Structure 1
């Protein structure tokens, strides 16, 4: 029986990677020096790392995709957080993806890695925004991400508050009441969940939230459930063709959702055909998740 060599921690081993500095331009200039790997080169380094744990091969995979991480990170720059911190979290997601990546599945690393990059960035945002701002239910968390993107489209000072809410409501397909409530959450003053509920009381705000009802379970998804979902999505994504992957990414994973019309133009197909492909891809993903006894929440 062959004993597999334990892989080193690539996050610790790659301490000398470029770290997002005080200037985005400076960081971009630094990472622009790294070569983008061909599919064949990526396969070679990925197999080497998977089979031997070669840190240098992992480093090649990381540096080749740093520019892609930035591309994803800038989509989240309107959350009031430092863009360099967001990029760094995305880089950690990329490293995690490399440790899980199976090059024998024949799809590109970044097609798989985008799930981990977004997961790490979104988790970072969730940790740094008040739970009161984000909300406690899954629907509220989805609205939180969508409204941040849509606000820039309409919040130009030329609309009344109600007209502004109406535009967002129509765009995001949710009620004006939900828009109004989320806008109030997001504009409210943040506070520490370790603060006392009232001056002189010993119960903290986090304890107060936890003692209410089951809604606290919606705030922090258990690691076990989260890992199962990621595993299911990995398997599901592996069976999609390149066009399906693109549509799923642009329609379901991106904060700035691409229209059916734009995707149709890219592939020279009708809007309805794009809709059909999207529906088919979702069904494929759902079947995989259901087969793994994972609730398909879309």
Structure 2
């Protein structure tokens, strides 16, 4: 349609700013697309921020987010040394960017790029701390500060040593370097040593999965477990102790006098020299019967005691 002469023309912003970034494709395509997105002027940023704050305008929020996606990519690239996927770092940074856009106040006199950097880094930091190791290595504020600064400071110390041609290549910090880190980051010396130890360590599975051939792999859980204080083992041990004392006494009480003496002399008495009690022949001589008869009486007594012990348990 041809406009009448003298009619002013204006450039309209895309109806859907999200369509500028391809929904599918590899990470390189995404980075290339967000780097081509136009930046907002200060006036446009203020306008969209007020529309979002006053009218909850989702399209205005989308334009604010889209214009700062390249900032997230740039910040995420700084954390590639932690061994986590670049795409995941960007994704977490985008979450921080959206939080910053939601909380941004245009009347504070600060550009969104400066305000958003804190939120982007905060989300990326939290993601790294949760996923860098199976066990979280930093929980307090001082530990988090050490985690994100200690490695770069160690690299600086190594560079200084190389420049000075010190001839030593240490993986750990010296006492002087520990004091220097503690002073620069305003933390305790012991916290520096503890964080260096945590970062130098690795993850170990307490209970490793079986190997391909079906054999159970050996893990630290085998020698870390304290079976003596395991509830089931404690109950079984208590039951054994009761059977060995009160249970045996009850079972012996169920026998006649001769059978009880034969069992006691054969199994419950120990001589001074550590040897066992009386033999079958010794008891046979005492009662004037054959050794085979003593054996038969012993077997019958044992069966009766076994029944009594089962009833007692």
CA 60–162 in structure 1, closer or farther in 2 if over 3 Å, else same: closer
User: Structure 1: where are the runs of 5+ without partners?
Assistant: 1-12, 204-298
Q: Summarize deviations over 1:1-37 as a string: whole Å, max 9, x none.
A: xxxxxxxxxxxx96985579754x5433211111111
Contact residue 45 and residue 58 of structure 1 kept, 8 A: yes
Q: Summarize deviations over 1:206-241 as a string: whole Å, max 9, x none.
A: xxxxxxxxxxxxxxxxxxxxxxxxxxxxxxxxxxxx
Q: State the superposition RMSD in angstroms.
A: 3.8
Deviation at 1:77, TM superposition (A): 2.2
Aligned mates of 1:19, 1:192 — CA distance in 2:
38
CA 193–125 in structure 1, closer or farther in 2 if over 3 Å, else same: farther
Q: In structure 1, what is the equivalent of residue 195 of structure 2?
A: 182
Deviation at 1:47, TM superposition (A): 1.4
TM-score of the aligned structures, taking structure 1 as reference length:
0.52
Aligned mates of 1:199, 1:60 — CA distance in 2:
57
Q: In structure 2, what is the equivalent of residue 76 of structure 1?
A: 79
CA 193–87 in structure 1, closer or farther in 2 if over 3 Å, else same: farther
> Are 2:141 and 1:138 equivalent residues in the alignment?
yes
SS in 2 for 1:134: coil
Q: In structure 2, what is the equivalent of residue 160 of structure 1?
A: 170
Q: In structure 1, what is the equivalent of residue 32 of structure 2?
A: 29
TM-score of the aligned structures, taking structure 2 as reference length:
0.50
SS in 2 for 1:34: coil
Contact residue 40 and residue 67 of structure 2 kept, 8 A: yes
Q: Summarize deviations over 1:163-210 as a string: whole Å, max 9, x none.
A: 66744642453677544432221132225799999459999xxxxxxx
Contact residue 22 and residue 84 of structure 1 kept, 8 A: no
Q: Following superposition, which runs of at least 4 residues in structure 1 exceed 6 angstroms of deviation? A: 192-197, 200-203
SS in 1 for 2:63: helix
Aligned mates of 2:178, 2:118 — CA distance in 1:
27
CA 44–70 in structure 1, closer or farther in 2 if over 3 Å, else same: same
Q: In structure 2, what is the equivalent of residue 7 of structure 1?
A: none
Q: Summarize deviations over 1:26-74 as a string: whole Å, max 9, x none.
A: 4332111111111001011111222233322212111111122222222
Q: In structure 2, what is the equivalent of residue 91 of structure 1?
A: 94
What is the aligned length? 190
> Are 2:46 and 1:43 equivalent residues in the alignment?
yes
Of the candidates 117, 128, 131, which is equivalent to residue 128 of structure 1? 131
SS in 2 for 1:35: coil
Contact residue 92 and residue 127 of structure 2 kept, 8 A: yes
Contact residue 72 and residue 118 of structure 1 kept, 8 A: yes
Deviates more, 1:104-113 or 1:162-171: 162-171
Deviates more, 1:185-194 or 1:52-61: 185-194
CA 150–68 in structure 1, closer or farther in 2 if over 3 Å, else same: same
